[in-house]
C-alpha cells in the first residue's frame, strides 16, 4: 500500500462538494422504491477504483437508493486512493454497506480501511481481514523516516474510522502496526464487523430494519427484497484501472521511446512509430494519476538522449556510459516522492537498462563497422578493384586498363604486359595508378624485370 495522489478522484470530489454539502445539511431523503446499488471491487485499490466508488455514490444518491453495497475482495492498494474512498464513505448521504465476499476473498491492507468505514460491515464465510501495515509498491518494507511517517498516518486513520463507526479501535491499530489478520468469525467476535452473511440476498435480509447513522441522521434500512442494480466501471475507469500500475507505466514509456526512435531513424516503417506513440500516450495517462518525481523523469529522458547521442558522436563510450547511469538513477527516483513509498521493481529496471544498453551497443557497433567499410561506389569504390591491361606501357609507364566495363588511362608502378591483371591503387582526376595484382605475380619481386622468373 503506497501513498499516491488520486487526481481524477479528488477532482471529481471537488466538483461534487457543493451538492454533497447541501445533501448533508438537509433531512435524509425518503427511500423511494426498493433498490440497492451494487459495485464489485475485485483487485487493487487505485485512482480508478476511487473514481468508480464516487460515481456509484452519486448514482445511489440521485436514485434515492436504499444503500450502496460494495462487494470487496482486494489485496490492498494505494494509500491516497484509500483515503479518498474513506472520505467519501464517511461523508456519504446514502448508507454504505461493505461486504467482504465471496468465500475465499479478503480485505487486506487498504481493504481494512474501506471495510471499517462502511455504515454496515459484513463478511462471507471463509473470508479474512487484516494485514494493513504500509509497504512499498512491490510489497517491500518501507525503511527510514518515511516508514514511521506512513505508519503513524495509517494508524491514526484506522483509529479514527473505527471510533466513528463504533468498532474495535485496538484491533484497528494492531492491524496496521502488527499486520494481524483474522477470519470472519474472529472479526465478528472482536466487533470489527457487524455480521456474517452467506450471500448478498442473505445480507440484505439480515440488515433489514437496522438503524445506522448517515450524515448526522439516523436511518432505518429497508433492504429486504430490494432490487439489486449493479453499477459497472466505465471504459475509461477500466483502462485506468489497468494502467495504474507503476511497472506497466514504466514499460509502456520505454516501449514508446524505442518505437519513436526506430521510426525517426528509419522513416517510412510506420509500425514502430504508431506503436511507440500509442505506448507513450498510455504511459503519460498512467503517470497523470501516479505521483512521480520529475527529477527522475528528466534523468530518464537525459539518459535516453545520451544513449542516442552515442550512436552519432565519437565519444568513445563516454556518452553511452553516462546515459546508462542517468537512466538507471532516473528509474530509481521516478516514484520517489514525499507522498509516496512506491518503487519500481528492480528486475524491471535492470531489464530495461540491459535492453536499452544492449540496443545502443549493437547499433553503435553496426554504425562503426559501416563507417570503416571501404566505399563501394564512386571513385573511392574503384580502389582495390582488379582490371586488365589492354595496351602496353610506354616509356613513362602509361598503360590502358579495362576496369568495370570502362577504359582508363593509368600509370603502372611496375612493368606490366598486355592481358595482365592489375590492382587499382589510387585515382588522380581521370588517371589511375595501378600495380600488378599480387595474387597473379605470386613471388615476383617489385623490381624484377618483366619476363624474369625467380626459380
Residue 355 in grid coordinates? 535492453
pLDDT of residue 245: 80
Homologous superfamily, domain 380-441? Nucleic acid-binding proteins (2.40.50.140)
Average pLDDT, the chain: 80
DSSP 3-state assignment of 425?
strand
Residue 332 burial by CB count (10 A; 0-12/13-18/19+): exposed, middle or buried?
middle
Q: How many CB atoms lie within 10 A of CB 66?
A: 27
- Which pLDDT tens digit goes with each residue over 173-215? 999 999 999 999 999 999 999 999 999 999 999 999 999 999 8
Per-residue model confidence (pLDDT) at position 291: 73
The CA-atom distances, in angstroms, between 115 and each of 48, 86, 153, 202, 421 are 18, 9, 18, 18, 92
**Which residue spans of the chain are classified as CATH 3.90.226.10?**
7-234
Residues of the chain with CATH 2.40.50.140: 380-441
| Ranges 8-17, 287-296, 352-361: which has the least confidence | 8-17
Please give the model's pTM, rounded to 2 decimal places.
0.64
Question: How large is the average pLDDT for residues 217-230?
Answer: 93
2 vs 138: CA distance, rounded Å: 10
pLDDT confidence of residue 428: 78
| The pLDDT of residue 378 | 58
| Per-residue pLDDT at 222 | 93
Residues 391-397, mean pLDDT to the nearest whole number? 69
What's the sign of the alpha-carbon dihedral 44, 48, 51, 55?
A: negative
Residues 187 and 181: their CA atoms lie apart, in Å, by: 9
Q: pLDDT tier at 285 (50, 70, 90 boundaries)?
A: confident
> Is the per-residue pLDDT at 220 higher than 80?
yes
Closest of 7, 208, 14, 232 to residue 120, by C-alpha: 208
pLDDT at position 141 is 52
Quick: pLDDT tens for 232-283: 999 988 888 888 888 888 999 989 988 888 888 777 878 988 999 999 999 8
Span 7-234: which CATH code? 3.90.226.10
User: What is the tens place of the pLDDT at every residue in 69-117?
Assistant: 999 999 888 888 899 999 999 999 999 999 999 999 999 989 999 999 9
Higher pLDDT, 394 or 384: 384
Q: Is the pLDDT assigned to residue 127 strictly greater than 90? A: yes
Decide if pLDDT at 341 tops 80. no
Instruction: Give the whole-angstrom CA distance, residue 107 versus residue 451.
Output: 99
Tell me which range, 164-178, 298-312, 351-365, 405-419, is most confidently predicted by mean pLDDT. 164-178
In the prediction, which pLDDT does 338 show?
54
Would you call 197 helix, strand, or coil by DSSP? coil
What number is the average pLDDT over the span 395-417? 82
> Which whole number is the average pLDDT over 348-364?
81
According to the model, what pLDDT value does residue 8 have?
Answer: 33
How does residue 121 score in pLDDT terms, banded at 50, 70 and 90? very high
Using pLDDT thresholds of 50, 70 and 90, give the confidence band for residue 28. Answer: very low
pLDDT band at 162 (very low <50, low <70, confident <90, very high): very high
Query: What does each C-alpha distance from 42 to 241, 269, 367 come to in angstroms?
Result: 11, 41, 51
Amino acid at each position: 500500500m503506497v501513498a499516491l495522489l488520486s487526481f481524477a478522484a479528488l477532482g471529481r470530489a471537488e466538483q461534487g462538494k457543493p451538492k454533497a454539502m447541501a445533501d448533508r445539511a438537509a433531512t435524509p431523503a425518503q427511500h423511494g422504491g426498493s433498490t440497492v446499488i451494487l459495485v464489485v471491487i475485485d483487485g487493487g485499490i487505485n485512482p480508478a477504483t476511487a473514481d468508480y466508488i464516487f460515481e456509484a455514490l452519486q448514482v445511489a444518491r440521485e436514485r434515492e437508493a436504499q444503500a450502496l453495497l460494495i462487494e470487496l475482495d482486494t489485496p490492498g492498494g494505494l494509500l491516497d486512493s484509500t483515503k479518498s474512498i474513506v472520505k467519501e464513505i464517511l461523508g456519504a448521504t446514502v448508507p454504505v454497506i461493505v461486504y467482504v465476499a465471496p468465500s475465499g476473498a479478503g480485505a487486506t491492507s487498504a481493504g481494512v480501511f474501506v471495510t471499517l468505514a462502511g455504515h454496515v460491515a459484513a463478511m462471507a464465510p471463509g473470508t479474512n481481514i487484516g494485514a494493513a501495515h504500509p509497504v512499498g509498491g512491490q510489497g517491500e518494507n518501507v525503511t527510514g523516516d518515511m516508514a514511521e511517517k506512513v505508519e503513524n498516518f495509517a494508524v491514526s486513520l484506522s483509529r479514527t474510522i473505527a471510533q466513528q463507526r463504533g468498532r474495535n479501535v485496538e484491533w484497528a491499530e494492531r492491524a496496521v502496526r502488527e499486520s494481524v489478520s483474522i477470519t470472519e468469525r474472529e472479526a465478528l467476535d472482536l466487533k470489527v464487523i457487524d455480521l456474517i452473511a452467506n450471500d448478498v440476498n442473505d445480507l440484505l435480509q439480515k440488515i433489514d430494519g437496522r438503524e445506522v447513522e448517515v450524515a448526522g441522521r439516523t436511518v432505518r434500512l429497508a433492504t429486504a427484497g430490494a432490487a439489486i442494480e449493479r453499477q459497472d466501471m466505465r471504459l475509461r475507469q477500466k483502462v485506468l484501472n489497468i494502467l495504474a500500475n507503476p511497472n506497466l507505466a514504466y514499460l509502456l514509456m520505454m516501449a514508446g521511446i524505442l518505437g519513436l526512435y526506430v521510426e525517426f531513424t528509419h522513416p517510412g516503417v510506420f509500425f514502430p512509430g504508431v506503436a511507440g506513440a500509442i505506448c507513450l500516450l498510455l504511459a503519460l495517462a498512467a503517470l497523470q494519476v501516479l505521483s512521480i518525481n520529475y527529477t527522475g523523469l528528466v534523468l530518464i529522458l537525459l539518459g535516453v538522449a545520451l544513449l542516442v547521442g552515442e550512436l552519432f558522436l565519437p565519444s568513445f563510450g563516454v556518452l553511452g556510459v553516462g546515459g546508462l547511469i542517468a537512466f538507471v538513477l532516473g528509474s530509481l527516483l521516478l516514484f520517489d516522492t514525499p507522498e509516496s513509498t512506491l518503487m519500481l521493481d528492480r528486475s524491471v529496471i535492470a531489464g530495461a537498462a540491459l535492453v536499452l544498453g544492449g540496443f545502443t551497443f549493437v547499433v553503435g557497433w553496426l554504425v562503426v563497422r559501416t563507417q570503416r567499410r571501404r566505399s563501394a561506389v564512386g571513385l573511392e569504390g574503384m580502389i582495390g578493384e582488379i582490371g586488365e591491361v589492354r595496351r602496353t606501357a610506354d616509356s613513362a609507364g602509361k598503360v590502358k586498363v579495362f576496369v568495370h566495363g570502362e577504359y582508363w588511362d593509368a600509370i603502372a608502378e611496375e612493368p606490366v604486359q598486355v592481358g595482365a591483371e592489375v590492382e587499382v591503387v589510387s585515382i588522380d582526376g581521370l588517371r589511375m595508378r595501378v600495380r600488378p595484382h599480387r595474387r597473379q605475380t605470386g613471388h615476383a619481386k617489385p623490381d624484377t624485370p618483366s619476363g624474369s622468373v625467380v626459380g
